[in-house]
Amino acid sequence: MKFIEFDKNKCDECYKCLRTCPTKAISFSDNKREIIDDLCIKCGLCQASCPQGALTIQNDIYKIKQAIKDNKYVVVSLAPSFISTFEFKDPRQMVTGLKLLGFKWIEETAVGAEVVSNHYEHIIEDGTKTNIITSSCPSANYLIEQYYPGQVDSIIPVVSPMIAHGKMIKKKFGEECYVVFIGPCLAKKAEAEEISDAIDAVLTFDELSEWFEEMNISLSTLEPSCFGDESTKRGCAYPIGSSLWKNDLKTRVNNSYKYIRVDGIDRCKDILESLKRGSLENYCIEMNICRGSCINGPGMIKNKLTYYERENKIHRYVDSKDKCVDNKDKKIDNSNIEVKRTFKSKQLKLKKPTHYEIKEILASMGRYSVHDELNCGACGYSTCIEKAEAVYNGLSDRRMCLPYLRAKAENLQSAIIEHTPNLICILDEKLRIRELNPAFNRVFNEDSLDLKNLPICTLMEDKLFEKVLLQKQNIIGYKKNFKDLNKVFYISIIYLDYEKVVVAIFTDVTLEERNRQELLRVKEQTITSCQEVIERQMCVAQEIASLLGETTAETKVNLNRLKDIVLNDDGGL
């Protein structure tokens, strides 16, 4: 089963999930994001910590709705921690709400917890184990099987209350009934898949709450209904650590053991390390991966109640039980129900790189000595060595190192500033030079002086800089001619408020300006030449017109004379 899936469209590779993951079971390499199922202990911390909601865990609500629609006999095993997260006047209002959703029968998982505790008693009373660890938390079991296989024999070989209760329900109503566990634990989804003959689907409390909202069901307004088989005090108190007590919740089972409740992944790993070293003996340990046990599970409703308020509600609920009962009092027939379970090593042995291979990987990330190993944890790994081992096993990318990327970016920025043809200088709030690049130094520092801390006014007029500093408004692309340098620049002056500095960038446009001036000169010459040609043409035209006028007049005179001669010849006509 793939317990958690990535939504690649939502993941922005912030690595918060990897930093949160206690077993580093998440691979970021070759632009891929993947949960390594053989390393995952199904605690759900990565999903709970993801700010983008990019990690999703299988939601069984559609399977459950279909089972109800198909008119299957759908039964609920309800974790006793429900009392600490839902709002109602009477806990039995939850039964009514679940029946409105279509569930036929509702019991508390505490019924199964009582059966588990009875088996715990027999094993603890036997006292043959050096140390004993409870088996109720599936994530704790996965942690031991995968990372502390030497302690597998310390786990009580009994199924969790959820599995025990599921088996009891199947026995009561038949194998064809559809059993749904509802609780605060994400790991129960994986456990239900692993042990397939007890629980058909799992809902978390927050998933159930969304379903109630969808159906407009307000628990506090409903009439109470009865649970199926009544739960016991000890079974209901499991979320606050009752699994190692006798059913009066006052007496330890075997006083030859030291009893301790360990919750939270860090504390669990601490005590397992101690057990691994053999420094602890005769300990009976109730182990839960979630800090605060089940009433602080990742599937709890996200409301305003604090952990201590939820714990107080559980205590009040347990105290409300009239009497302590055992299986005989309740006449629960658990015969022929298999509650034994075998735990075994599931350790995935990763390849171990040599010292030389580690050094080579570290060198490729700019870590050439122990002093370069920052161990900052930004990549999700505690140390640079651990990071290098992950790279070696293909679980991480060399580039997934914030200091390395930052240094690379800074080196790139430095190279650009160092080699750009633009002139760059940075001024403080008193307009003194703090930094300058080689191009600026070559143009404005012919005498090779130390220009740092000199006022910019020693090199040029500073009115533009003062304007930007006072008005906090940038000037972009201002053209200025430096006649003494025989150069023309476009100047951009930018004020950086956070750093309290003024950055000036000079772009040399001297050649372009000269070309522009030359082009203007050519244009003017062309226009002048054209004007001269036009004027000469006008003069020629006038001369031609003048000559045409004179010849026309002479022709007219001559024609008139000819006319007179013709008219007067032989006495005229």
Encode pLDDT of 193-216 as tens digits.
Answer: 999 889 999 999 999 999 999 999
Alpha helices in 420-509 (DSSP H): 438-444, 463-471
Q: Whole-angstrom Cα distance, residue 360 to residue 487?
A: 51
Amino acid found at 401: C
Q: What is the mean pLDDT of the chain?
A: 86
Encode pLDDT of 429-442 as tens digits.
Answer: 999 998 888 889 88
CA distances from residue 92 to 79, 124, 330, 552 in whole angstroms, order as listed: 14, 34, 19, 130
Rounded mean pLDDT, 341-365: 86
Least confident of 80-89, 137-146, 264-273, 318-327: 318-327
Instruction: Please tell me the predicted confidence (pLDDT) of residue 323.
Output: 46
- pTM reported for the whole predicted model: 0.71
Count of beta carbons in the 10 Å neighbourhood of residue 189? 26
User: What six digits make up the tokens of 13?
Assistant: 């590779």
Q: Whole-angstrom Cα distance, residue 62 to residue 4?
A: 18
pLDDT band at 2 (very low <50, low <70, confident <90, very high): low
Rounded mean pLDDT, 478-506: 90
Q: Is residue 325 predicted with pLDDT exceeding 60?
A: no
Tell me which CATH homologous superfamily contains domain 420-508: PAS domain (3.30.450.20)
Q: Is residue 330 predicted with pLDDT exceeding 60?
A: no
User: What six digits make up the tokens of 312?
Assistant: 């107080």
Higher pLDDT, 286 or 394: 286
Q: Whole-angstrom Cα distance, residue 132 to residue 154?
A: 5
| 183, 295 Cβ separation under 8 angstroms | no
Closest by Cα among 193, 200, 195 to 177: 200
Q: Whole-angstrom Cα distance, residue 283 to residue 287?
A: 12
Least confident of 102-106, 292-296, 422-426, 564-568: 564-568
pLDDT band at 409 (very low <50, low <70, confident <90, very high): low
Out of 39-48, 410-419, 522-531, give the one with best mean pLDDT. 39-48
Phi, psi of 223 (to 5 degrees): -80, 140
Encode pLDDT of 283-311 as tens digits.
Answer: 999 999 999 899 988 888 888 889 999 99
User: What six digits make up the tokens of 229?
Assistant: 């088989």
**CB-neighbour burial class of residue 77 (10 A; exposed 0-12, middle 13-18, buried 19+):** buried
Instruction: Please tell me the predicted confidence (pLDDT) of residue 569.
Output: 61
Instruction: Please tell me the predicted confidence (pLDDT) of residue 209.
Output: 94
Rounded mean pLDDT, 390-412: 74
Q: Is residue 54 predicted with pLDDT exceeding 50?
A: yes
| 60, 183 Cβ separation under 8 angstroms | no
Instruction: Please tell me the predicted confidence (pLDDT) of residue 572.
Output: 46
| 431, 455 Cβ separation under 8 angstroms | yes
DSSP H/E element including 66: helix 61-69
Amino acid found at 97: G
Instruction: Please tell me the predicted confidence (pLDDT) of residue 335.
Output: 59
Encode pLDDT of 446-472 as tens digits.
Answer: 877 888 889 999 899 889 999 998 998
Q: Whole-angstrom Cα distance, residue 332 to residue 171?
A: 11
Count of beta carbons in the 10 Å neighbourhood of residue 130? 14
Alpha helices in 127-262 (DSSP H): 138-147, 161-173, 187-194, 205-214, 233-236
| 44, 8 Cβ separation under 8 angstroms | no
Q: Whole-angstrom Cα distance, residue 44 to residue 50?
A: 10
Q: Is residue 238 predicted with pLDDT exceeding 60?
A: yes
Strand partners, 502: 427, 495
Q: Is residue 547 predicted with pLDDT exceeding 80?
A: no
Q: Is residue 321 predicted with pLDDT exceeding 50?
A: yes
Instruction: Please tell me the predicted confidence (pLDDT) of residue 416.
Output: 75
Least confident of 43-47, 77-81, 292-296: 43-47
Count of beta carbons in the 10 Å neighbourhood of residue 322? 7
Instruction: Please tell me the predicted confidence (pLDDT) of residue 191.
Output: 93
DSSP H/E element including 560: helix 510-568
Instruction: Please tell me the predicted confidence (pLDDT) of residue 303.
Output: 82
Instruction: Please tell me the predicted confidence (pLDDT) of residue 288.
Output: 94
Q: Is residue 324 predicted with pLDDT exceeding 60?
A: no
Encode pLDDT of 106-138 as tens digits.
Answer: 999 999 999 999 999 999 999 889 999 999 999
CATH class of the domain defined by 355-408: mainly alpha
pLDDT band at 1 (very low <50, low <70, confident <90, very high): low
Q: Whole-angstrom Cα distance, residue 196 to residue 140?
A: 20
Considering the chain, what percentage of its residues have pLDDT values greater than 90?
45
Least confident of 166-170, 229-233, 501-505: 229-233
SS3 state at 483:
coil
Instruction: Please tell me the predicted confidence (pLDDT) of residue 13.
Output: 77
Instruction: Please tell me the predicted confidence (pLDDT) of residue 412.
Output: 66
Q: Is residue 172 predicted with pLDDT exceeding 50?
A: yes
Spell out the domain ranges in the chain.
58-330, 355-408, 420-508, 518-551
**Rg (the chain; Cα; Å):** 44
